[in-house]
Structure 1
Amino acid sequence: MKSHSSTLLAEVRTFRQNHPDVRYVDLISLDIPGRFYGKRYPVEMLEKVAAGSPLKLPQNAVLLGAQGGLFKIGDYCFHDGDPDANRRLVPGTLKPVSWEAQPLGQMLITSDGTEAPIEFEPREVLAKVLERLHGKGIHPVVAFELEFYLFDRKLADGLPQFARDPLSDDPDDQPTLHIERLSRFAPVLDDMVQTAQAQGIDITVITAELGPGQFEINFGHLDDGLRAADWAALFCRSTRGVALKHGYRASFMAKPYLQHPGSGMHVHVSLYDAAGNNLLAAHQQQPLRHAVAGCLELLPHCMPIFSPNHNAFRRLGGTVNAATKACWGYEDRDACVRIPESDPRNLRIEHRLASADANPYLVLAAILVGLKHGLEAAREPIAPLNEDRDSGHDFPLEMLEAVRAMQAQPALRKGLGAEFVDVYCENKRQDHLAFQQEINAREYRWYL
């Protein structure tokens, strides 16, 4: 413990030496809907925390709804006295914030690794899943890919406007899947990449996607699943900030336009043993097929995680490369689970169903539980799309149905934790019902 504290203390002191103008540091953590909460600490107080002073935040901050409110979930929130819970600093995450008006720092905090971790904290859920996998001698290597849209900074009557192309105000004039669009938006994209790299994030490939003002960013592969999810979460935060600085609004909303493709979170996962052998490639790829079968079996029960809100369900089906069933295939982007072409050393799955605004810790946790379930059950999967274009299991396309399916799945309750599943499902149920408590203009047009 002493060496751990000394490492953190050295990190804080080095940061202060390198950034003497920074007076405050945002201590942040991801809640259930995938938004950051936390506190802004004077940097001198952060040094005391690094040296071992307690760091406490309300436990129920993890349970915030999409708009920040609290719901009654079991005995939490309104019958538990709103207790504090210990958090700890995540080593290696203290970085400068360059997109705010004043010099700031930020650092991740978490309850995992404390004496009493919060069972429903997303990072803790993933930490437990990884711990069990490591106990079985399974070591995942993970890479995220995130799609997002750039919009004009100002909304028009509450509606997003296409990002203003420096060469044209006509959204139809933006070249899709074309390197030229990367050049047109180079100043903001370059700043996004440099800012992410300053956060310690390994950015690899940038792609102009099909939607006007839509882009995709790929991250490097990591043998630390927690850090891979950290990267995805931190990238969303910094990208929104950089976009505002350049006069744009960056959004990871799943389906901002009905007529254009939605934005997804693609996750590449390979599994290795302690000696570095790719477990999925053994025995003529039989473990790969078993892992795929497990993923597909649990996928319909994970939909509240992969599609975490009303809008995210709009993304499924009807547009390019968005699956309508739990399916798989080799080099097939219409599949939920795609097997990219690779050599045996790099054989992996690409899970493509989650929306870009899903919680990266929970998405990865659900995928890993599915893979582990498949390896243990050792069943063959359904036919790949390469053999049968109609192959696939149905999955829920509406939140309340999805919540019921998730809450009743024994393997998921065991893999993610029964307490987490119950809390998460009630959070999603209450959020969905709160969203419905407004009559929109279309209802008056149709029914008045």
Structure 2
Amino acid sequence: MKSHSSTLLAEVRSFRQNHPDVRYVDLIALDIPGHFYGKRYPVEMLEKVAAGGPLKLPQNAVLLGVQGGLFKIGDYCFNDGDPDANRRLVPGTLKPVSWESQPLGQMLITSDGTQAPIEFEPREVLAKVLERLHHKGIHPVVAFELELYLFDKQLDNGLPQFARDPLSDDADDQPNLHIERLSRFSEVLDDMAQTAKDQGIDITVITAELGPGQFEINFGHLDDGLRAADWAALFCRSTRGVALKHGYRASFMAKPYLQFPGSGMHVHVSLYDGAGNNILAAHQQQPLRHAVAGCLELLPHCMPIFSPNHNAFRRLGGTVNAATRASWGFEDRDACVRIPESDPRNLRIEHRLASADANPYLVLAAILVGLEHGLDAKREPIAPLNDDRNSGTDFPLEMLEAVRAMQHQAVLRDKLGAEFVDVYCENKRQDHLAFQQEINTREYRWFL
């Protein structure tokens, strides 16, 4: 513990020396819906925390709904006295914030690794899954890919407008995959990439996607699943800030336009043993088939994680490369679980179902539990799409059905934690019901 505190204290002091104009640091963590919450600390107080001083925030901040409200979930929120819970600083995440008008820093905090972790904190859920896999001699290597849309900064009666082409000042309203779009929006894209790198995030490939103003960002592969999910979460935060600075809105909303493709979170995962051998490639790739079978078996029960809101379900099925059934295939982007072409050393799955606004910690945890379950059960998967284009099993396509499918699934309750599953499902159920408590203009037009 003393060595750990010394490392953190050295990190804070180095930061202060390199950024003497920074007076405050945002200490942030991701809640269940995937939003950051936290506190803004004077940098001198951060030194005390790094030296081993207490860091407490309300436990129930993790339970906030999409709009920030608290729901009654069991005894939480209204019958528990709203207790504080200990958090700790995440080493290596103290970085400058360049998109704000005043000098600022930020640093991740978490309850995992404390004496009493919060069972339903997303980062803690993933940490427990990774710890169990490590005890089994399984070491994941992970890479995220995130799709996003750029919109004009100004909304039109609350509706998004196409991003303005900075060269012509016209709306970028033509869906395409042209490389020229990267050039036209290079100023904001370059700033997004550089800002991410300043946060310690390894940005690799940037692609102009099919939708108007849509892009995909790839991250480097990591043998630390927690850090990989940290990267995805922090990238969303910095990218929104950079976009506003350039006169745009960056959104990871799953389906902002009905007529154009939605935005997904694609996760590449390979599994290695302690000697560095790719587990999935062993025995003529039989473990790969078992892992795929496990993913597909649990996928219908993980839909509240992969599609965490009403809008995310709109993304499924209607347009390019978005499945409506649990399926797999080699080099097939219509599949939920794609096996990219690779050599045995780099054999991996690409899980393509999650929406871009899903919680990266929970998405990765659910994928890893599926892989683990498949390796344990050793079942054969259904036929790949390469052999049968109709292959696949149904999964829920609306939230309340999805919550029912998740809440009582025995493997998920065991591997993700029964307390987490109950809390998460009730949070999603309450968010969905709250979303329904508004009569929109279409309802009046149809039924008045």
TM-score with structure 2 setting the length? 0.99
**Aligned counterparts, 1:199-214, within 5 A:** 199-214=199-214
- Cα distance in 2 for partners of 1:396, 1:425 equals 14
| Structural mapping, 1:217-366, within 5 Å | 217-366=217-366
Q: Tell me how far apart the structure 2 counterparts of residues 300 and 364 of structure 1 sit (CA, whole Å).
A: 15
Per-residue CA shift, 1:161-184, capped at 9, x if unaligned?
000012345546646111100000
**Structure 1 segments of 4+ aligned residues over 2 angstroms from their partners:** 167-175
- Note if contact 1:310-1:432 (Cα within 8 Å) is conserved in structure 2: yes
Q: Deviations over 1:200-221 (max 9, x none)?
A: 0000000000000000000000
1:351-378 CA-to-partner distances (Å, cap 9, x unmatched) read 0000000000000000000000000000
Deviations 1:257-302 (A, max 9, x none): 0000000000000000010000000000000000000000000000
**Aligned-partner SS, 1:300:** helix
Distance in 1 of aligned mates of 2:400 and 2:174: 38
Q: Whole-Å Cα distance in 1 between the matches of residues 375 and 170 of structure 2?
A: 51
Asked if structure 1 preserves the Cα contact closer than 8 Å seen for 2:331 and 2:340, the reply is: yes
Q: Is the 8 Å Cα contact of residues 289 and 381 (structure 1) preserved in structure 2?
A: yes
Residue 318 of structure 1 deviates from its aligned partner by 1.1
- The one-character-per-residue Cα deviations of 1:335-362 (angstroms, maximum 9, x if unpaired) are 0000000000000000000000000000
Contact 1:143 1:219 in 2 (8 A): yes
Structure 2 unpaired stretches of 5+: none
Q: Does structure 1 conserve the Cα–Cα contact (< 8 Å) formed by 2:172 and 2:213?
A: no
Give the Å deviation of 1:446: 0.3
Structure 2 residue matching 1:34: 3-state secondary structure = coil
SS in 1 for 2:305: helix
1: distance between equivalents of 2:77 and 2:16? 37
Offset at residue 236 of structure 1 (A): 0.0
> What is the CA deviation profile of residues 22-56 of structure 1, one whole-angstrom value per residue up to 9, with x for unaligned ones?
00000000000000000000000000000000000
8 Å contact kept, 1:270–1:349: yes
1:446 and 2:446 matched: yes
Rounded to whole Å, the distance in 2 between the matches of 1:173 and 1:373 is 44
With over 3 angstroms needed to count, the CA separation of the structure-2 counterparts of 1:254 and 1:378, relative to structure 1, is same
Deviations 1:197-252 (A, max 9, x none): 00000000000000000000000000000000000000000000000000000000
* Conservation of the 8 A alpha-carbon contact between 1:331 and 1:340: yes
Q: Which runs of 5+ in 1 are unaligned?
A: none
Contact 1:174 1:181 in 2 (8 A): no
The SS at the match of 1:20 is coil
CA contact (8 A) 1:243 1:250 kept: yes
Q: Indicate conservation of the 8 Å contact 2:261/2:320, yes or no.
A: yes
Please give the residue correspondences for 1:176-195 in structure 2 after superposition, counting only pairs within 5 Å.
Answer: 176-195=176-195
Q: Structure 1 vs Structure 2: percent identity of aligned residues?
A: 91
What aligned pairs does 1:376-387 form with structure 2 within 5 A after superposition?
A: 376-387=376-387
Question: Contact 1:165/1:174 (CA < 8 Å) preserved in 2?
Answer: no
Q: Does the Cα contact within 8 Å between 1:413 and 1:421 map onto a contact in 2? A: yes
CA-to-aligned-CA distance 1:383-418 (integer Å, 9 cap, x gap) = 000000000010000000000000010001111000
Matched residue, 2:97:
97
Kindly report the root-mean-square deviation, in angstroms, between the aligned alpha carbons of the 2 structures. 0.7
Q: Write out aligned runs for 1:115-194 (5 A).
A: 115-171=115-171, 174=174, 176-194=176-194
Residue pair 2:330, 2:338 contacting (<8 A) in 1 also = yes
Structure 2 Cα separation of the partners of residues 70 and 172 of structure 1: 39
CA distance in 1, matches of 2:45, 2:217: 35
Instruction: Report the Cα distance in structure 2 between the residues aligned to 1:421 and 1:281, rounded to whole angstroms.
Output: 32
Query: Equivalent residue of 1:173, what SS?
Result: coil
Contact 1:294 1:370 in 2 (8 A): yes
The alpha-carbon distance between structure 1 residues 253 and 175, as it changes in their structure 2 partners (threshold 3 A), is: closer
User: TM-score of the superposition, structure 1-length normalised?
Assistant: 0.99
Residue aligned with 1:157, SS: coil
Q: How many residues align?
A: 448
Going from structure 1 to structure 2, the CA distance change for 1:64 and 1:6 (only over 3 Å counts) comes to same
8 Å contact from structure 1 (residues 175, 181) kept in 2 = no
